Amino acid sequence: MIFRQLFDSVSCTYTYLLASRRGGEALIIDPVLDKVDRYLQLLDELDLKLVKAIDTHVHADHITGLGALRDRTRCITVMGEESKVDVVSQRVSDGDRIDIEGISLEALYTPGHTDDSYCFVMDDRVFTGDTLLIRGTGRTDFQNGDPYAAYDSLFNKLLKLPDETLVYPAHDYKGDTVSTIGEEKAFNPRLQVASAEQYAEIMTSLNLPDPTQMDVAVPANLRQGLSQDEIEARGWSLTAEQAKAVVGQPQIVLVDLREQSERARHGEIPGSVHAPYAELDENIGAGGLLHELAEATGKRLVFYCAYGERSAMAVTAAQEAGLENSCHIRGGLDAWKKVDGQLAGAGGP
Ligand SMILES: [Fe+2]
């Protein structure tokens, strides 16, 4: 496995790059905008294809690299469904899995530091964001932080992981790089409390100054959405209303780019072909399923996904691959639901 812990010395942020093999798919956790060139260089040096970029929560102390990485690699951006960021490509909730080739992370919803904080468990380790730091815990005094929720996330979720689980936080200010759940239980001063009330007392009496970049970072981090205007200006876009009018017509092929878990949870537009975004390049290239389908039948490919991000990137790639009769549904299934579009297969696990 390739596992890199990368450091931004300005915000003391740790960013994690994971891949199962050289030449394979990679994912990145908590990237920092100023370091994006370095990540891209490293991805190139290790011959990795970045497919997912995840933020554990909306950061207040640095600007995220999520949007820049998406624009430069066409990777999927992932955050929790509670996050107030305008658009990401994929949203997860407690217990969901984030998969790439050879690696699977389990999402744990751990509110408290913020109301959109997640931790991600991978085999012997957990990426704790700012929920659990080494000998510390994330502050709870802004972004809908809540010390009682933090206590619950720490004591009833994170500390229930096996003691030997490695703890990789999103920050460290003292130079520590890794700990374990057992070590934190024993030595983290914030965790030596007998009740949620006692924990809340500690957290509300910290009186910390705001992070220096907070006024810039939070608004920037809430606006990560890919602009879908240019795609629309090129005529490659249908509104959800327009899509409703053409769905079911014989010259249309609806292509669902989401993952199976998203389809099971949220349903699909009836009659969709499933072609996950991760397999897009093969599917739209010469000889690929979608390429052949479009060529052989002359039908119009209508891509859609959860929020219109993956489909906007897919339609651009499809046009570049010569599939000129392709478009996408602006705003994705989210917009489709808002105009009461018909759904099939919803309500799965
Ligand atoms: Fe944070």
Pairing of strands 132-133, 136-137: antiparallel
How far away, in angstroms, is 36 Cα from ligand 1 center?
19
Mean pLDDT value of segment 184-194? 97
Q: Measure the CA–CA gap between 27 and 150, rounded to whole angstroms.
A: 27
Centroid of ligand 1 to alpha carbon of 202 (angstroms): 18
- Selection from 24, 63, 30, 71 nearest residue 47 by Cα: 24
Cα–Cα distances in angstroms (integers) from residue 13 to residues 6, 9, 17, 80, 286, in the given order: 8, 7, 13, 20, 42
pLDDT at 309: 95
Task: Count Cβ atoms below 10 Å from residue 313 Cβ, excluding itself.
Answer: 25
Rounded distance from Cα 50 to ligand 1 centre (Å) = 24
Residue 347: CB atoms within 10 A of its CB come to 9
Model confidence pLDDT, tens digit, residues 248-301: 999 999 999 999 999 999 999 999 999 999 999 999 999 999 999 999 999 999
Residues 284-296 have pLDDT tens digits of: 999 999 999 999 9
Phi, psi (degrees; rounded to nearest 5) at 329: -95, 115
**Cα–Cα distance for residue pair 132/139, rounded to 1 Å:** 10
φ, ψ (nearest 5 deg) of residue 295: -65, -45
Q: How far apart are CA 330 and CA 281, in angstroms?
A: 21
Q: How far is the CA of 211 from the centre of ligand 1 (A)?
A: 10
Strands 273-274 and 252-256: parallel
Please name the helix (run of DSSP H) or strand (run of DSSP E) that holds residue 289, with its range, or none. Answer: helix 289-297
Per-residue pLDDT, 128: 98
Distance 118 CA to ligand 1 centre (A): 11
Kindly report the pTM of this predicted structure.
0.93
The dihedral formed by the CA atoms of 174, 177, 180 and 186, expressed in degrees to the nearest 10: -10
Q: State the pLDDT confidence band at 347, using cuts at 50, 70 and 90.
A: low
State pLDDT tens for residues 14-67.
Answer: 999 999 999 999 999 999 999 999 999 999 999 999 999 999 999 999 999 999
Output the pLDDT for position 213: 87
**Which residues are registered as beta bridge partners of 15?**
6
Assess contact for 285 and 291: CB atoms under 8 A.
yes
Task: Report the separation in Å between the CA atom of 218 and the middle of ligand 1, taken as the mean of its atom positions.
Answer: 10
Q: How far is the CA of 42 from the centre of ligand 1 (A)?
A: 25
Please tell me the distance between residue 277's alpha carbon and the centre of ligand 1 in angstroms. 30
